[in-house]
Structure 1
Amino acid sequence: MPNNWQELIADKKRRQQESIPKEWIVQIPPDDVLDVTDVPRECGLLTAKELEITELDDVPLLLKKLASAEWSAVEVTTAFAKRAIVAHQLTNCLTEIFIDRALARAAWLDEQLKTTGKVVGPLHGLPVSLKDQICIKGLETVMGYASWIGKYSEKDSVLTEILYDCGAVLYVRTNVPQTLMYPETYNLVFGRTLNPRNRTLACGGSSGGEGALIALRGSPLGVGSDLGGSVRIPASYNGLYGLRPGYNRVPYEGTLNTQEGEDSLPSVLGPLCRDLGGIKVFIQSVASSKPWFRDPLVIRMPWLEDEYKLVEHGSGNKLSFGLLWNDGLVVPHPPIIRALEMTKKALLAAGHEVVDWKPYKHDELYDIVRAMWTAAGDEDYRAVTSLSGEPLLQNMEDYVEGATGALYLSDKAMTVYQLWQIQKKRIALRKEYLDYWQSSVKLTSTGRPVDAIISPSAFYASHPHGKNAGADYTMIWNCLDYTALVFPVTQVDTTLDQPKPPHEFLSEKDKAIYNLYDSPETYKNAPVSLQLVGRTLEEEAVIKMTEIVAAALKADS
């Protein structure tokens, strides 16, 4: 095996390229073509039927066609594998590519259906992509580190086991940023992943490879992780649905991670999809598999149909939403404000109620998250990168030797006692925020507190490469452990989304974010998304309420 980090990377890239079928190489448009979402349809690689399969955008219907044998698992896997390879050539979204293995699995599923007349499970024949930290037996799990090249998984993660038991087909894994601690996707092993709607913009992170792949319909359903927004930010930047479930609803056992052992603010696994039906199917399938018998941390909580029917929320007949216009620290860019206005208008037209949601101690909650993320200094990252001698990236700009200025890295670790005080403060603030939410009953006409909060999912629709400024609008809900689901609203309009006159800036960061919006042309074609936030472990209700919001937006469009 090569013995320095550059040689390790060169060898890994060579082996990755060899895993791509040569007959699936297509001509890629020049760099000045920003939006490449039509290329998979127009490149000539996919047949008419493969285009029909991959452009269905309806996971429940796709599963019905698989279950009835109208479409075989081999046909569906081949279609999405081809499109995934095209997506990779356009955006650099993949890490591990194992098509032959996937097709063998698909053929076995077809034979099972043919001989027994029954599907293997609720996800029978469905291709599912995974973020490059969810282990699959026999495959490398590099997670953006040169040091982990050649690190093969000896067993499947628990989620991988469950997906197999449910009948899914795994075929690719997707790119991440080094350390996973950035809302953009770039590392020294695989390079940068681009946003297919505008390749000068970020695809988000840390599940950015999933975001780009699914945006190009190279996967019908993907799984990422979310420590501070790592599912929701890629979903937001790519115009997808992305769910951050509550802690320990989806099994994490056997999944690699950054800062392993840190459980003050745990990461969670969650789905990304082009349709809400796929989000629902994923949570239903995982919860119904009784994952608490495989992962000791998972809560014993099957799919709760009454929660989905919104029994505690007036059966969904008239919902009350709190609308967070800004967090009191940073005003979002004009397209985000327009999306909030559009959503409010649509919900009112649908007969629901919308009240303004004033931020409560968001600055203190942000400080807690950052303190927890830097509690051990940069020791975790240094321990990994020192194995190969690879540089520890200090930001998501193209690597320059000697660069400084990290977002969440620190060389100063706090004492255990200092960490305890941070944890103690977080517990107190979670109780305060719960009381604050309960007090919103005074603002509504339903006799209930607000049913959910609708919030920006980021400061911006996306941002130019290397210009990420944090994950404030997502990480606050991790700190509170609230279930949150990103949903698409619109896209940047170069006429409607002109820069606004300077306002009285709320902070230095607010001024910097304002100045980043130089022209809507910079953000051309970028999707504009928001997130719906429910309470802890309200996955079923959050999915249903997001369905209601999506229906209202569609009716009002």
Structure 2
Amino acid sequence: MSKVESLAVEKRQRLADAIPKEWVPSSTPAPHRLDVTGLPRESGILSDREIEITEVTDVDTLLRRLATAEWSAVEVTTAFYKRAVIAHQAVNCLTEVFVEKALARAAALDQFLKTNGKVVGPLHGLPISLKDMFNVKGIETTLGYASWVGRYAQEDAVIVEALVECGAIPYVKTNVPQSVMWTETHNLLFGRTVNPYNRSLTCGGSSGGEGALIALKGSVLGVGTDLGGSIRIPAVYNGIYGLKPSYHRLPIHGCVGPLEGQECVRAAAGPLSSSLSGLKTFMKAVLSTQPWFKDPSVVPMEWNEKLYALERHGRGEQLCFAIMWDDGKVKPHPPLQRALRMAKEALTAAGHTVTDWEPLNHYEFARLANTIWRAGSRRDIQSHVAEHGEPLLSGMGTDEDTSPGFFTGDGAKDVHAYELWQLQNKLFNMRKAYLEHWQKTASQTGTGRPVDAIICPASASVAAPHGQNQYTNYTTVWNTLDYAATVFPVTKVDARVDVKSPPHSFHSSIDKIYHGMYDPQVFNGMPVGLQLVGRPLEEEAVLAMTEIVIQALGKIGKARL
């Protein structure tokens, strides 16, 4: 057995040993069972009260019950812990479990509320899951590398500090792809995380463990990161909500990740949740701790109620949404086209204006982002596995190919500083052109303002078969522009309605691949969601406009808030 293999075996055993045996189901779901969303209720592990607690999907409702001591922090944390363990048996989503630490904090919070008659903060008693990248003092951070087993964090990440200050209870960490540079979740240390609606399909990545865990209601609110879609893709594939802020809005210090030091197109920290209210509550809470005094990358910008009231957007009375039906590179699958039509119908019925969005240089943005990332990705990623010679996966397919991959192969070449400057300058000019493109829409909206937000897919497909999620620019383009964006569930694939379309005039070879991938029977019942994109640092407005879209869909009976 190699050193890497022995590290992986030892780490998996320690994870298993950290889980109380009475929380583990007596059997795992049969391999042929694809949909495991009903497993937590069927397991016999959860009491009726624990089922009731964990099936409250609205974060604010849960917080109210904690604040009034209707439910204690200990029982809520225990309930979500047990459900998270059941989820792990079904989809392999956890990397760290620290039961004693979390329950001790929960007990202290209960005592504080009893003694003082008030909560510690706005997230009092709420269990919050964390993507494995976020440091928790005394807990390992591995990023899916067997080579990183034994690396214990010396301090909490700044965002973890903020959550603890607000009264939250970190209780589990969740799985990521090796190197965190993929939109699927698989590594040689913990293995593959799968989609709970269909385990033959991906849960997305790189915050895939978070997406799968929240979908199974083993968490109601979690923290992920998004470099090119890593919050939004898992959220939309698993039928939950996600927010990618602009990358200067929330603290990232203490989040161990790839390409550290690269400042052009950076990863942003953000929430994933079972409710839209969870995204808002998370943002308000973290910003209330003034994280810019602990992380110099954060802009000193508190939660802005004027932005949330849409004062820059006609106070939300009559908005103009632009729908991007197709980015000109890969045509979205039929269920996504139907979801876009649903959004247009609902918003029009609600009295808003809906126009079409013309993408500008989207493929060039993707190429530029990848060129910037690959300027140092090979040396960066290889340095993390050099000590033990750990193989690097070249993709997320089932064959576990370790030939040179996209970020470590011949195309990933070190560049001189001057060459990088030219790339950065090109990015600045492209961002300027896109800003002007958006501003020019003021002549078309009928509101006197430019388009208020863009609605588009977050992926060209719903959750794809393992290893086939090859195109990510429905999300990556907005990272490259640093625009704020949410994703939200709309419907589910209906094989009777979402029939395969005939071949069209393909935009590209990958467009043809995606057309061939679509099989309505394979994807039947999978979550279908959309993305709402706004301006940089307008997270409050983006959340408010997402509420408006969801409410409009709800009024025609086709979505829920």
Same fold (TM over 0.5): yes
Q: Give the structure 2 partner of residue 203 of structure 1.
A: 203
Summarize deviations over 1:488-523 as a string: whole Å, max 9, x none: 111111111111000001111111111111x11111
SS in 2 for 1:179: helix
* Cα drift, residue 21 of structure 1: 1.0
> Quick check: 1:227–1:267 contact (8 Å CA) kept in 2?
yes
Amino acid at match of 1:166: C
Q: Give the structure 2 partner of residue 47 of structure 1.
A: 47
> Quick check: 2:225–2:269 contact (8 Å CA) kept in 1?
yes
Q: Pairwise mapping of residues 301-340 of structure 1 onto structure 2 (< 5 A)?
A: 301-340=301-340
> Quick check: 1:407–1:470 contact (8 Å CA) kept in 2?
no
Q: Give the structure 1 partner of residue 424 of structure 2.
A: 423
> Quick check: 1:227–1:475 contact (8 Å CA) kept in 2?
yes
Q: Give the structure 1 partner of residue 8 of structure 2.
A: 9
Q: Pairwise mapping of residues 177-188 of structure 1 onto structure 2 (< 5 A)?
A: 177-188=177-188
* Cα drift, residue 408 of structure 1: 7.3
Q: Give the structure 1 partner of residue 240 of structure 2.
A: 240
> Quick check: 1:231–1:270 contact (8 Å CA) kept in 2?
yes
Q: Pairwise mapping of residues 156-555 of structure 1 onto structure 2 (< 5 A)?
A: 156-400=156-400, 402-406=402-406, 409=409, 410-517=411-518, 519-555=519-555
SS in 2 for 1:171: strand
* Cα drift, residue 476 of structure 1: 0.3
| Bigger mean CA offset, 344-353 vs 412-421 | 412-421
> Quick check: 1:182–1:206 contact (8 Å CA) kept in 2?
yes
Q: Give the structure 1 partner of residue 20 of structure 2.
A: 21
Q: Residue 400 and residue 438 in structure 1: after superposition, are their counterparts in 2 closer, same or farther (change >3 A)?
A: closer
Distance 2:499 2:506 in 1: 18
Distance 1:496 1:370 in 2: 36
TM-score (norm 1): 0.98
SS in 2 for 1:378: helix
SS in 2 for 1:252: coil
Q: Give the structure 2 partner of residue 82 of structure 1.
A: 82
* Cα drift, residue 28 of structure 1: 2.4
Amino acid at match of 2:448: G
Count of paired positions:
555
Q: Residue 498 and residue 408 in structure 1: after superposition, are their counterparts in 2 closer, same or farther (change >3 A)?
A: farther
Amino acid at match of 1:444: T
Q: Pairwise mapping of residues 118-133 of structure 1 onto structure 2 (< 5 A)?
A: 118-133=118-133
Q: Residue 174 and residue 344 in structure 1: after superposition, are their counterparts in 2 closer, same or farther (change >3 A)?
A: same
Distance 2:100 2:520 in 1: 44
> Quick check: 1:373–1:408 contact (8 Å CA) kept in 2?
no
Q: Residue 49 and residue 197 in structure 1: after superposition, are their counterparts in 2 closer, same or farther (change >3 A)?
A: same
> Quick check: 2:394–2:402 contact (8 Å CA) kept in 1?
no
> Quick check: 2:392–2:402 contact (8 Å CA) kept in 1?
no
> Is 1:91–2:101 an aligned residue pair?
no
Distance 1:386 1:404 in 2: 15
Summarize deviations over 1:388-408 as a string: whole Å, max 9, x none: 211011000135465455377
Summarize deviations over 1:95-152 as a string: whole Å, max 9, x none: 0011121111100000000011110110000000000010000000011011110000
Distance 1:141 1:19 in 2: 16
Distance 2:445 2:165 in 1: 45
Q: Residue 223 and residue 100 in structure 1: after superposition, are their counterparts in 2 closer, same or farther (change >3 A)?
A: same
> Quick check: 2:235–2:241 contact (8 Å CA) kept in 1?
yes
Amino acid at match of 2:450: P
* Cα drift, residue 411 of structure 1: 4.0
SS in 1 for 2:553: helix
Amino acid at match of 2:471: G
Q: Residue 400 and residue 166 in structure 1: after superposition, are their counterparts in 2 closer, same or farther (change >3 A)?
A: closer
> Quick check: 1:198–1:524 contact (8 Å CA) kept in 2?
no
Summarize deviations over 1:294-337 as a string: whole Å, max 9, x none: 11111000000011010111111111001000111110111111
> Quick check: 1:181–1:408 contact (8 Å CA) kept in 2?
no
* Cα drift, residue 470 of structure 1: 2.7
Distance 2:264 2:443 in 1: 33
Distance 1:512 1:477 in 2: 23
Distance 1:388 1:466 in 2: 26
Summarize deviations over 1:405-445 as a string: whole Å, max 9, x none: 53775442222211111110110011111111010111111
Q: Residue 362 and residue 134 in structure 1: after superposition, are their counterparts in 2 closer, same or farther (change >3 A)?
A: same
Amino acid at match of 2:512: K
Distance 2:414 2:177 in 1: 23
Distance 2:129 2:487 in 1: 19
Distance 1:401 1:417 in 2: 35
Distance 1:147 1:399 in 2: 21
> Quick check: 2:377–2:408 contact (8 Å CA) kept in 1?
no
> Quick check: 1:35–1:525 contact (8 Å CA) kept in 2?
no
* Cα drift, residue 29 of structure 1: 2.1
Distance 1:171 1:248 in 2: 26
Q: Residue 114 and residue 3 in structure 1: after superposition, are their counterparts in 2 closer, same or farther (change >3 A)?
A: farther
Q: Give the structure 2 partner of residue 33 of structure 1.
A: 33
* Cα drift, residue 240 of structure 1: 0.8
Distance 1:286 1:171 in 2: 18
SS in 2 for 1:354: strand
TM-score (norm 2): 0.97
| Bigger mean CA offset, 359-368 vs 118-127 | 359-368
Distance 1:60 1:405 in 2: 43
SS in 1 for 2:394: coil
Amino acid at match of 2:55: E
Summarize deviations over 1:177-234 as a string: whole Å, max 9, x none: 0111111000000000010011110000000000000000000100000001100000
Distance 2:297 2:358 in 1: 34
Amino acid at match of 2:443: K
> Quick check: 1:370–1:408 contact (8 Å CA) kept in 2?
no
Distance 2:430 2:368 in 1: 10
| Bigger mean CA offset, 120-129 vs 410-419 | 410-419
Q: Residue 457 and residue 222 in structure 1: after superposition, are their counterparts in 2 closer, same or farther (change >3 A)?
A: same
* Cα drift, residue 377 of structure 1: 4.5
Distance 2:391 2:115 in 1: 54
SS in 1 for 2:359: coil
Task: Compute the RMSD of aligned alpha carbons.
Answer: 1.2
